[in-house]
Amino acid sequence: MNGLQLKTQFELLTKFLKSCSVVNADGTLLYSKDQGPHHLTTTRLVAFQIVKKYLQPQPHDFFVLNDPENGGFQYTKLIFISALQPNLYLIWDEDFDAIDFKIPPTPLYDKGARNEFVWKALIENRSYSSALERFIVAQKAKADALLKMPQLLDLVSSAKNQQDWLKVSQEVFNVLFNTKAQSCGEAYFKLAPTQMIKLKLTVEEKQNVKMFVLDLTNTNLAADFHSASHIFESAAIKKIIDFYGWAEFFNQSILDKIKVILPPRSIVSKPHAEGLHNISIQAIASQLCEHLLTQFNNPSRKTHTMFQYTNFLSFKVQAGTAYYNNLITKQSATLDCVEELANLQKIEVKSMRRLESRSHVLFEVKSNDGIVLTIQNKYDIEGSDIKFKVNGKPQTCGVHKLAKSDSVEISWDF
Amino acid sequence: MPKPAIALYLGETYASLGIFDLAKGTQQSIQFEKSVFLPQVSLKNLLAQSKLKLHEIYGEAAEPVSVFVVTKYFDRLKQFRLGGSISQVIAKGFENSYSLKDSKLLSLAASQLIVTLENENIDTAFLQGELERVKKINPDLNKVVIALPESKFSAAKVEQIVSFFSAAGLKIFLCGQPHNQSELRKTLLNAGSEGPREEVSKDLMDAFGAKTEIFYFCHNGFKSKFENAELFHSSNNFFAHWLKKNKLNYGAYFDVETFKFLRNRSVPLWESPWGTIPIDNFEQTEFEIHPFAELKLNQLSMLSFDKTSIQLEPGPVVAGRAIKPLVLDLFWKDLQDNEFCTTLFTALSQDNLKSKIQNIFSVLEKGQKSTFLFVSGEELKNQIRVLIHSQIEMLASGENVRLYGPLADTFNNSRHQAKGTFSWPREIMEMAEVQA
């Protein structure tokens, strides 16, 4: 098979998944993509290794987990692992916002048969049982749809094709590596006077070995703001892959060229029990990498600038059993909640305008049951164009319970 | 007594027209059929030729004529901001914000043409002043969307405002649920697509006379009264009705401007390029391989195709004028055996065009530097087929899928096949007769 044919097979296999990785029995990454706002490539690899080590997956087994201290991201992000063939595993993640408990690596299906004991313990006796059951069944259906394509699975799981595919990616890596500058630089993000994430990035070719080294040795030890190492790694790797244009060929051949040095128990290598800071740390990782790569490739090398964190706001709204994810960045705003809640008469929109380069929305809670609003990232009130106020007062990261008649005002530059 | 009728499929880049007699019932064949590639032959030109033919066949009985239209023409608007000639009368605090779901969505209204009302305390002089202001910004302004919430504006006041703008010669689009942003977007889209619909209807009236009856295929069949937003789904709705008629759950459609998969399942909301719009439509999946996507050497010097289509004009090389090869050009040998394509692309049979296409692909193939990523045009074409058929397998969960459309034959394989030769005018005629 030629390079195009191999690439096409992996694209087909992952066609209907937004964020997923394909690995073989050895855990070699064959393909990975992250099309959502969060990046989980190495997170999914960690999840697979845990499942492989402790649960010895067999073909047609199907696992789930969400434990941020054991290969997960956050409770609401479920990671599924499907053993498609002895030499082929698919790992993907999907959000189910109602989940508020830890799921360790759990076998939901054993060789295609539902594990009734686990099913009962996981799904029954919850206020959202039926929605959770539908969600999990839909995820299983994704694996089942692929199992109906044995020809494709045979092609992708063939050891020879996998070797050829890794070689193709290696070649692509070599070609595109040479299109960008080699350099070394540092940037840091200060959380507090004694809390800093410091990244030294080296892009170099030594003795015919092309490498990226992300050295975080000078990052401080964790206090109350920290995440697992795979959280930082996944975001940094994603930025490098996108910057060089390797996304379509991303596999172990390229992953092996990115070395990450993380001091133990530091801000970027100490898992948080609920993964509360993961979104913020991914944003910092991504922005630090982008800053350095842009600096390296800036034609006027003399104009080195200090790293400046670009603020954004990620917040979740819960109204009864419905959840809405909202994100405002410098480039775009996606507010899922406002229109739907207004149509359901849970809120009343008092103002919604987009004038003079600024968007503004003001709504009042109408629902007697109230609304829960959670700001999910470390959001800098002072240094931001984004204003978020509840009853006229600016709000920061955390959970805000809103009662009837409370007002929420959000404004941002567009 | 004959009842002359026209079956017209109006795509983004081509039109297919047929003449038939509505009085003859279901057992008849099309009396005249012609397809044109719109960047080369205009719709007006096609209609003029059809008029001559109509008179040739029916003589004095050629008028009045009924025209049955299925269209995809409005998809052309999907890449544009709309509302350049539309004023919006809106309550203060709700200016220029018609979607919060995604700020990257296209705009449906021009912010300079907003008339903001704070409360009911407005008079004709105020409205006159505002009208003059917006007319100064755009003298061609001829439509107004009025969206005033009942909580702030009485029905009598809204009526007064409607009368004012109506008297000023503006076409009124009144939003029935101003507090509902998706309804407001639908009203804005109805206004924004009024111009193109009027143009098509005017061309038909000019060609076939003022007594011409025009029916567009909407959700439940051919209609003369509808909302313009419905026209964005005309061809999909038609395809879905064909699936229903044939008791099929799925179908895959192929023509020179789209490859898509349709599910015979209606959904109430349309995720349009301008935001969610409450309108029944059928679930469709584009195959992510657009026939008008450009073929080129990518940054790895590998022959590949873009994810999106380039401009519709001048079209593919097979149409004769273009020099940039498109995905459709990969299938040039297959198109030579397709009757519809040989009519549409008349230059396709010419030897110099064939050598031009071969030269273009030869240059592209030789331009590939890397042997491990080398792909010939033929391999890429086969790969596209594999991609499409694998997606069909996944979307239809292994069921056999019937292929539909003028290019369906080109994509036949052992499992998924077309039945018979496809002709838009004939399909439209059959549907029109059933409805009649």
How high is the ipTM of this complex?
A: 0.87
User: What CATH number does residue A375 fall under?
Assistant: 2.60.40
Please choose, from the candidates B357, B378, B343, B384, the residue with its C-alpha nearest in 3D space to the C-alpha of residue B259. B384
For residue B118, is it within any domain? yes
Domain closes at, from B169, B192, B215: B192
Same domain, A10 and A151: yes
- What pLDDT, on a 0 to 100 scale, did the predictor assign at position B176? 92
Structure tokens belonging to residue A44: 């999914």
Chain A partners of B182 at a C-beta cutoff of 8 Å? 339, 343
Could you report the per-residue pLDDT of B312-369, keeping only the tens digit for each? 888 999 999 889 999 999 999 999 999 999 999 999 999 999 999 999 999 999 999 8
For residue B96, is it within any domain? yes
> Where are any strands of DSSP class E within A283-406?
313-319, 322-328, 333-335, 347-355, 358-365, 371-375, 387-390, 393-394, 398-402
Same domain, B54 and B113: no
For residue A267, is it within any domain? yes
- What pLDDT, on a 0 to 100 scale, did the predictor assign at position A301? 64
Structure tokens belonging to residue A330: 């410098």
Please give the residue of chain B at the shortest CA–CA distance from A335: B101
Question: Which domain range does residue A335 map to?
Answer: 313-413
The reply to whether residue A149 touches residue B390, judged by beta carbons under 8 angstroms, is yes
Interface A–B counts its CB contacts (< 8 A) at 107
Domain closes at, from B192, B220, B239: B192
Same domain, B18 and B70: yes
Same domain, A325 and A360: yes
Give the closest-approach CA distance of B373 to chain A in angstroms: 5
- What pLDDT, on a 0 to 100 scale, did the predictor assign at position A166? 97
For residue B93, is it within any domain? yes
User: What CATH number does residue A106 fall under?
Assistant: 3.30.450
Same domain, B214 and B167: no
Same domain, B137 and B205: no
- What pLDDT, on a 0 to 100 scale, did the predictor assign at position A304? 65
For residue A175, is it within any domain? no
Same domain, B154 and B68: no
- What pLDDT, on a 0 to 100 scale, did the predictor assign at position B28? 73
Crossing angle of helices A229-244/A41-55, nearest 10°? 130
For residue A164, is it within any domain? no
DSSP B348: G
For residue B140, is it within any domain? yes
Rounded to the nearest integer, the mean pLDDT of chain B is: 92
> Where are any strands of DSSP class E within B124-239?
143-147, 171-174, 213-218, 221-223
CB neighbours (10 Å) of residue A77? 22
Please choose, from the candidates B290, B283, B243, B236, the residue with its C-alpha nearest in 3D space to the C-alpha of residue B72. B236
- What pLDDT, on a 0 to 100 scale, did the predictor assign at position B219? 86
pTM: 0.91
- What pLDDT, on a 0 to 100 scale, did the predictor assign at position B63? 82
Domain closes at, from A267, A296, A325: A296
Same domain, A289 and A317: no
The reply to whether residue B93 touches residue A12, judged by beta carbons under 8 angstroms, is no
Same domain, A25 and A92: yes
Same domain, A346 and A291: no
For residue B237, give the amino acid letter: N
For residue A152, is it within any domain? yes
Give the closest-approach CA distance of A93 to chain B in angstroms: 20
Confidence band, pLDDT 50/70/90 cuts, at residue B59: confident
What is the C-alpha separation between B78 and B290, in angstroms, rounded?
15
For residue A302, is it within any domain? no
Q: How many domains does chain B have?
A: 2
- What pLDDT, on a 0 to 100 scale, did the predictor assign at position B27? 67
Give the closest-approach CA distance of B217 to chain A in angstroms: 30
- What pLDDT, on a 0 to 100 scale, did the predictor assign at position A54? 94
The reply to whether residue A148 touches residue B393, judged by beta carbons under 8 angstroms, is yes
- What pLDDT, on a 0 to 100 scale, did the predictor assign at position A381? 62
User: What CATH number does residue B46 fall under?
Assistant: 3.30.420.40
Specify which residues A223 forms β-bridges with.
none
Strands B221-223, A29-34: pairing is unpaired
Residue pair A412/A333 in contact (Cβ under 8 Å)? The answer is yes
CB neighbours (10 Å) of residue A303? 8
Domain closes at, from A296, A330, A360: A296
Give the closest-approach CA distance of B231 to chain A in angstroms: 25
- The residues near B129 (Cβ < 8 Å, ≥ 6 apart) are none
Specify which residues A358 forms β-bridges with.
A355, A413
CB neighbours (10 Å) of residue A269? 22
Same domain, A221 and A284: yes
For residue A38, is it within any domain? yes
Same domain, B66 and B125: no
Digit-by-digit pLDDT tens for chain A (414 residues) are 888 889 999 999 999 899 999 999 999 999 999 998 999 999 999 999 999 999 999 999 999 999 999 999 999 999 999 999 999 999 999 999 999 999 999 999 999 999 999 999 999 989 999 999 999 999 999 999 999 889 999 999 999 999 999 999 999 999 999 999 999 999 999 988 889 999 999 999 999 999 999 999 999 999 999 999 999 999 999 999 999 999 999 999 999 999 999 999 999 999 999 999 999 999 999 999 999 999 999 877 666 678 988 889 999 999 998 999 999 988 889 998 888 899 899 999 999 998 878 899 999 999 998 899 999 987 766 667 888 999 999 988 889 999 999 999 999 987
The reply to whether residue A332 touches residue B100, judged by beta carbons under 8 angstroms, is no
Same domain, A272 and A322: no
Helix (H, G, I), strand (E, B) or coil at A413: strand
For residue B303, is it within any domain? no
Structure tokens belonging to residue A223: 């206090």
For residue A170, is it within any domain? no
For residue B238, is it within any domain? yes
Same domain, B69 and B108: no
Specify which residues A323 forms β-bridges with.
A318
What is the C-alpha separation between B252 and B246, in angstroms, rounded?
14
Question: Could you please report the per-residue DSSP string of A10-33?
Answer: HHHHTTT-SEEEEE-TT--EEEEE
What is the C-alpha separation between A379 and A410, in angstroms, rounded?
13
For residue A308, is it within any domain? no
Question: Which domain range does residue B188 map to?
Answer: 86-192
Domain closes at, from A269, A296, A323: A296
Confidence band, pLDDT 50/70/90 cuts, at residue B106: confident
Helix (H, G, I), strand (E, B) or coil at A202: strand
Specify which residues A186 forms β-bridges with.
A200
Please give the residue of chain B at the shortest CA–CA distance from A3: B373
Consecutive H or E run containing A169: helix A159-177
Same domain, B58 and B152: no
For residue B395, is it within any domain? no
Determine what percent of chain B is predicted with pLDDT higher than 90. Answer: 73
Same domain, B13 and B155: no
Same domain, A143 and A12: yes
- The residues near B74 (Cβ < 8 Å, ≥ 6 apart) are B193, B196, B197, B231, B232, B234
Q: How many domains does chain A have?
A: 3
For residue B226, is it within any domain? yes
Same domain, A128 and A237: no
Helix (H, G, I), strand (E, B) or coil at A249: helix
